[in-house]
Chains A and B, each alone.
Chain A
Amino acid sequence: MLIHNADRRMQIYGALLLLPAAVLLGTFAYLPTVSTLVNSLFLPGFRGSPPEFVGLENYALLIEDRTFWRVARNNLIYALGTIPTSIALALGMALFVNARLPGRGFVRMAYFTPTILPMIAAANIWMFFYAPQIGLFNKILGALGLSGVNWLGDPSVALGSVIVMTIWKEAGFFMIFYLAALQSIPPELKEASDLEGTDRWSFFWRVTFPLLMPTTLFVLINALINAVRVVDHLFILTKGGPNNATNLLLYYVYENAFSFFDRTYAATITVVILLVLAVVATVKFTILDRRTHYQ
């Protein structure tokens, strides 16, 4: 009996320790998720009438919505365009600044600078690069005798321009993780492989890259989340235009909720995004984790 009581007290004690985190998560993550899910099953009420329960009608509408598919396709291209390139660039920069080179601290700082800038500020800087008449890129092209490009106004180029800016912004951030991981690899490993006459390329693929796998996995998940989550630059650069050419999922959610005042449709898109992200993250962790070496 006494033992039973002590056991129960330990459980209560543990539950109390978990409570603050549970309350925060519940209030700001799970409750909104559930209410979003519920909202997605209703149609908004007009002129004070209560919202009307419509079941899966919003989802049926979504499947018919050509703009949604356009935006989803944009987001896929955006993810495919930014994630591999920024990760590869981050790894390359980390390898470069991890080596002995003069002014290493300065180069590291320079690579990291885009990360410290707020997205809005970064987007404003790139506005000047991309501006049709006075922009840096078109000035350079002009000096070379080439005609300028309407970087943000041409539907076939605009998404590419947004992708380039995102890579510039993210690569430095991911570099920091790679740099930390590289510095935790003992230098003797390189020496041991040098003694065996292993060339640099082969050492990278057989030792460095596998040892960086946990970092790559972490960065990959983060990059994916960012690809859906970060839309600040769209407000400055394109506002999703021209003709939805640069519209991304979260920006489309924003438009629906706050420009078209269709809250329940926005909730529907959000639920779909959540589902897709959850599936992708699960697949990544189960497949890649098995092949990843954690120290």
Chain B
Amino acid sequence: MNNDNKRIRLEDVSKTWGGQAAVDRISFDVAPGEFVILLGPSGCGKSTTLRMIAGLEQASDGRIRIGERDVTHLPPGDRGLSMVFQSYALFPHLSVADNIVFGLRSRKVPKSERKERLARVANLVDLTAYLDRKPAQLSGGQRQRVALARSIISEHPICLMDEPLSNLDARLRGEMRREIKALQQRLGMTVIYVTHDQVEAMSMGDRVILMEAGRIVQDATPDELYNRPATAFAASFIGSPAMNLVTLAAAADGAVIEGEPRCSVASHDAKGHLLGVRPEDIVVLPADASGVPAEVVDAEYLGADSIVRLKVGRQELRARLDGVPGVARGAACRLQWAPWATHFFDSGDGQRLALQGYDLSAAPGRLRQTQAAQRSGVQTPRGSSGKYSPGVNP
């Protein structure tokens, strides 16, 4: 199959409802065979963008191209794509088999070929035993598979998915995530996948397009989105718990965390802006170590790790520690993080600033820093690795 009809390009596409822009001049490219995630909170315009690509909504402005064709004004059926809906949109009165071949009948595919393709696809999504059932007699996961089968059988090179897993329970969701990803790779489909779930975005996407209020905030790989968030919004949207964001104030020898003037964390340039540190990048040390003084508010034990809430000045930070938290409520402690673990964002527009934090650590911090540097040399050229085990707890 010619790869060209799998390429999708959006050029300055907008959608306005009565003067209100739901999608505001967004542009991006999707390469053939790529799995691209449209991520964002509800109301950010991600579903509207998908529906414009599908042709279910007309773009108010801009161009949409699929391959070499300008499809901006083409009806949905002529765009050569299929779609999986959040509600699955199965026809309740038709059997699973009839649901799957619905589109083939519309396109007047001969009966023998329909049968053959149905058998193949049903086998692919493990539905062969259920072909005679009605959708109401299926479980949520099976309905989801029927919807997938319906889009696969069309053999369109592009598949759009609108929050397809949000009606499933957590366990099934994890299973279907892997299944969809495997299917996509096996069939070489180009997929645009809308979700508000960061886990789906990080685990499935080759690329994640993060949207907020109708605009693209960041268009990057999951790794880059996590390790180099472009704005404070991106930083706070990805990660569970999200990145700590604290306001910096001016002090004698640099910028300090507001309300905690004893330990400066960055140069003067950073004052008034936001400092971001991921919870897993914070090392909690005894009160006699060097670092930012803090007080333990409470700790939440989650099994593999614990989330510790810490009070620094007037602000609150969260740290992720391995295993059972070895800190007592109300205990004083010191916090450290490596310079590469710090992110700075403009306090006004939230844009990322090219600054780096001070090295807060004495010996233990430096040791970890060199370890991290070694590891990052293999992993990523940017000198940062997302997850490593936090330091020793008192």
Point out residues on A near B: beta carbons under 8 Å: 186, 188-189, 191-199, 202, 206-207, 210-211, 213, 293, 295
A202 to B103, alpha carbons, bound, how many Å? 11
Q: Which of B82-90, B211-219, B280-288, B367-375 contacts A (4 or more CB under 8 A)?
A: B82-90
Question: How far apart are B90's CB and chain A's nearest CB, in angstroms?
Answer: 8
Distance in angstroms from A192 CB to nearest chain B CB is 4
B106 within 8 A of partner (CB): yes
* Most chain A beta-carbon contacts within 10 A, residue among B87, B93, B105, B154: B93
Q: How far is the CB of A189 from the nearest CB of chain B, in Å?
A: 6
Q: Is B56 touching A191 in the complex (CB atoms < 8 A)?
A: yes
- CB-CB nearest in chain B for A197: B77
Check A293/B81 contact, CB under 8 A, given A198-B103, A198-B106: no
With known contacts A211-B92, A211-B93, A195–B107 Cβ distance under 8 A: no
- B47-95 at interface with A (beta carbon < 8 Å): 54-56, 75-78, 81-83, 85, 87, 89, 91-93
Residues of the B chain whose Cβ atoms lie less than 8 Å from the Cβ of A211: 92-93
B233 within 8 A of A: no
- 8 Å CB contact of A194 from B77, B92, B105: B77
Q: Which residue of B lies closest to A209 (CB)?
A: B93
Judge whether B102 is part of the interface by a CB distance below 8 angstroms.
yes
**CA of A194 to CA of B83, assembled, Å:** 11
- Docked complex Cα distance between A293 and B91 (Å): 11
B interface, CB within 8 angstroms of A: 54-56, 75-78, 81-83, 85, 87, 89, 91-93, 102-103, 105-107, 134, 136, 150, 154
- Whether A194 contacts B56 in the complex (CB less than 8 A), given A211-B92, A211-B93, A293-B93, comes out as yes
- Chain A residues with CB under 8 Å of B103's CB are 193, 195-198
Contact check, A192 vs B83: say whether CB atoms are below 8 A apart. yes
Known: A194-B55, A194-B77. 11 other contacts (CB 8 A): A191-B76, A191-B89, A192-B83, A192-B102, A193-B103, A194-B76, A195-B83, A196-B77, A196-B82, A197-B106, A295-B92
B66 to chain A, nearest CB (A): 13
- Distance of A295 Cα from B93 Cα, bound (Å): 8
Q: How many A-B pairs fall under 8 Å by CB?
A: 68
Q: How far is the CA of A194 from the CA of B102 in the complex (A)?
A: 11
Interface residues of chain A: helix, strand, loop or mixed (majority): helix
Complex CA gap A195/B151 in Å reads 10
A-B contact pairs, 8 of them (CB 8 A): A189-B91, A193-B106, A196-B106, A197-B76, A198-B77, A199-B106, A202-B106, A213-B93
Q: Which residues of B contact A191 (CB under 8 A)?
A: 54, 56, 76, 83, 85, 89
Distance between B39 CB and nearest chain A CB, rounded to angstroms: 22
Q: Which of A188, A202, A295 has the most CB of B within 10 A?
A: A188
Instruction: Please report the C-alpha to C-alpha distance between residue A202 and residue B104 in the assembled complex, in whole angstroms.
Output: 13
Q: Which residues of B contact A202 (CB under 8 A)?
A: 106
Output the least CB separation between A207 and chain B (Å). 6
Tell me which residues across on chain B come within 8 A of A295, comparing CB atoms: 92, 136
Chain B: minimal CB distance from A197 (Å): 3
The answer to whether A197 and B107 touch across the interface, beta carbons within 8 angstroms, is yes
Separation of A36 and B272 alpha carbons in the complex (Å): 94
Quote the shortest CB–CB distance from B32 to chain A (angstroms). 20
Contact B81 A195 (CB under 8 A): yes
Task: Please report the C-alpha to C-alpha distance between residue A213 and residue B92 in the assembled complex, in whole angstroms.
Answer: 13
**Minimum C-beta distance from A195 to chain B (A):** 5
Contact B102 A196 (CB under 8 A): yes
CA distance A201 to B273 in the complex (A): 61
- For A188, the closest partner residue in chain B by CB is B89
Taken together as a complex, chains A and B put the C-alpha atoms of A211 and B94 apart, in Å, by: 10
Q: A192–B85 contact, CB under 8 A?
A: yes
The chain A residue with its CB closest to the CB of B77 is A197
- The interface residues of chain A lying within 8 Å CB-to-CB of B105 are 206
**CB neighbours of A196 from chain B (8 A):** 77, 82, 102-103, 106-107, 154
Chain B residues with CB below 8 A from A206, complex form: 102, 105
Return the chain B residue nearest A207 by Cβ.
B91
Interface centre among A188, A196, A206 (most CB of B within 10 A): A196
Which residues on the B side are within 8 Å of A213 (C-beta)?
A: 93
Alpha-carbon distance between A227 and B386 when the two chains are bound, in angstroms: 77
In the complex the two chains form, is A195's CB within 8 Å of B87's CB?
no
Please judge, given known A-B contacts A196-B154, A197-B77, whether A188 and B92 are in contact too, CB under 8 Å: no
